[in-house]
Amino acid sequence: MSADKLVSTINDFKKSLNGQTIKIHNNDYSTVAHRIGIFRRNLGTAATISTQLIHQDDKKVIVQSEVFIDNKLVATGLAEELRTASRINQFSALENAETSAVGRALAMLGLTNDRIASAEEVSGAIVQQDQKLSAALIDLDKVSHIGSYKSWLNANQKLMQEVKGSNPLAYSEFLVRFNQIKNKLEANGVIQNG
């Protein structure tokens, strides 16, 4: 493998970060998709990313990723996801573990802005720790009339704005569940569409 290929890929990644990171708690994190995009743009078919399921049961999933350039192993990454860590992990723990493993392998390769963890990993960890969002969604699911819905919105507006500003990925995951519950409330006539 030509070291020049890897060095130019890392340099391109560093140059491409402006506006391509996600700020979480005042730190910038690159997404896995951005790392993959720069990797592929620079190395094309000379590069291969391989993933392997290491462990899977009803509690957790572990995935290993290997990065090859010119058929030479140049980096690896491991990721573990707990199925109970978030609502999304209940259905997509394997996919999340694979994405994290690939992101970590590419970070080990040098496609990092001084943070090994990807935006997805950090966001997921924050979501796991933030019980306020989960509690708010549980309360929303109990809304029985338009007045209690408006009261819920007033009580949780500040929390939603804080999460939206500090952790856009967590906010996006929250919105998915929020919209599911809201649609159910509309279908049941609890609140009106609009």
The verdict on 43 and 119 lying in the same domain is yes
The verdict on 178 and 91 lying in the same domain is no
Enclosing domain of residue 52: 3-128
Q: Using CA atoms, how far apart are residues 42 and 39, in angstroms rounded to an integer?
A: 6
Q: Residue 171: what pLDDT? A: 78
Residue that terminates a domain, selected from 128, 153, 171: 128
Beta bridge partners of 155: none
Task: Say which DSSP state 17 is in.
Answer: T
Q: Residue 78: what pLDDT? A: 92
3-state secondary structure of 142: coil
- Residue 193 included in any domain: no
The verdict on 111 and 46 lying in the same domain is yes
pLDDT tens per residue across span 115-164: 545 545 555 555 554 667 778 888 888 888 888 898 999 988 888 887 77
Q: What is the number of structural domains in the chain?
A: 2
The verdict on 94 and 153 lying in the same domain is no
Task: Say which DSSP state 11 is in.
Answer: H
3-state secondary structure of 158: helix
The verdict on 16 and 69 lying in the same domain is yes
List b or e across 47-83, with b for residues whose CB sees 16 or more CB atoms inside 10 angstroms.
Answer: bebebeeeeeeeebbbbbbbbbbeeeebbebebebeb
Q: Residue 69: what pLDDT? A: 92
Beta bridge partners of 88: none
The verdict on 112 and 142 lying in the same domain is no
Q: What is the full per-residue pLDDT of the chain (194 aa) written as tens digits?
A: 556 888 888 788 778 766 666 655 556 667 888 888 889 999 999 999 999 999 999 999 999 999 999 999 999 999 998 888 777 788 888 998 998 899 889 988 888 765 545 545 555 555 554 667 778 888 888 888 888 898 999 988 888 887 777 677 777 778 888 889 988 888 888 887 65
